[in-house]
Amino acid sequence: MSSALEDQARRPAVFFDRDGVLNMDIGYLFESHKLVWIDGAREAVKAVNDMGYFAFVVTNQSGVARGLYEEAHVQQLHDWMADELGKIGAHIDAFEYCPFHPEGTVERYRQISHRRKPAPGMINDLLKRFPVDAERSFLVGDQPTDIAAARAAGLKGYLFSGPNLETFVRPLLLVG
């Protein structure tokens, strides 16, 4: 049984899928000049921050396994996104990505991974690293695999189909 102090230290989290939720899904995005934010995406992250929630990104990046770009490109894009969010006083607490795919062309990335959604590995890893109140946490994704990953990790999952992420997320923050 956890103590009241431990419960107090725990915070809810919002787990965001990246492509199709935070930014337009153009397929195998790795260049910042091609990133187009979804309407309200930056403001949604700021709302999550302002409510005291953790903000996480969990994204499959099979383009690495397919040889289309390197892990360094994913990290550079995430750094750029973090800088852009910082301009409005928003932040992501952790970016997690899975570079693996069982049909990859790059041998070291050609594998089944417990971190690739719909598996819950990225979410579970974050739940271990951060003091997250899972009961009050949720994931926002745009694909059934995102929702499946959330459920497998014991979280609520919400399917986002547009048009404005802030409008979608704000009422969910009040439900928790």
Could you read off the pLDDT of 7-61 as tens digits, one per residue? 568 999 999 999 999 999 999 999 999 999 999 999 999 999 999 999 999 999 9
- CA angle (125 as vertex; 119, 129 as ends), nearest 5: 165
Indicate whether 137 pLDDT > 90.
yes
At 103, give phi and psi (nearest 5°).
-110, 25
Mean pLDDT (whole number) for 131-141? 97
Structure confidence by residue, pLDDT tens digits, 65-122: 999 999 999 999 999 999 999 999 999 999 999 999 999 999 999 999 999 999 999 9
Tokens for 173?
């923050």
Out of 17, 93, 142, 146, the active site residue is 17
Tokens for 130?
């951060």
How does the average pLDDT of the chain come out, rounded? Answer: 95
19 an active-site residue? yes
**Would you identify the CATH topology of the domain 14-107+117-160?**
Rossmann fold (3.40.50)
- Per-residue pLDDT at 9: 85
Out of 7, 19, 79, 133, the active site residue is 19
Indicate yes or no: pTM above 0.75: yes
Q: Which residue has the tokens 């107090």?
A: 8
146 an active-site residue? no
- Per-residue pLDDT at 1: 44
Of 95, 125, 127, the closest CA to residue 113 belongs to 125
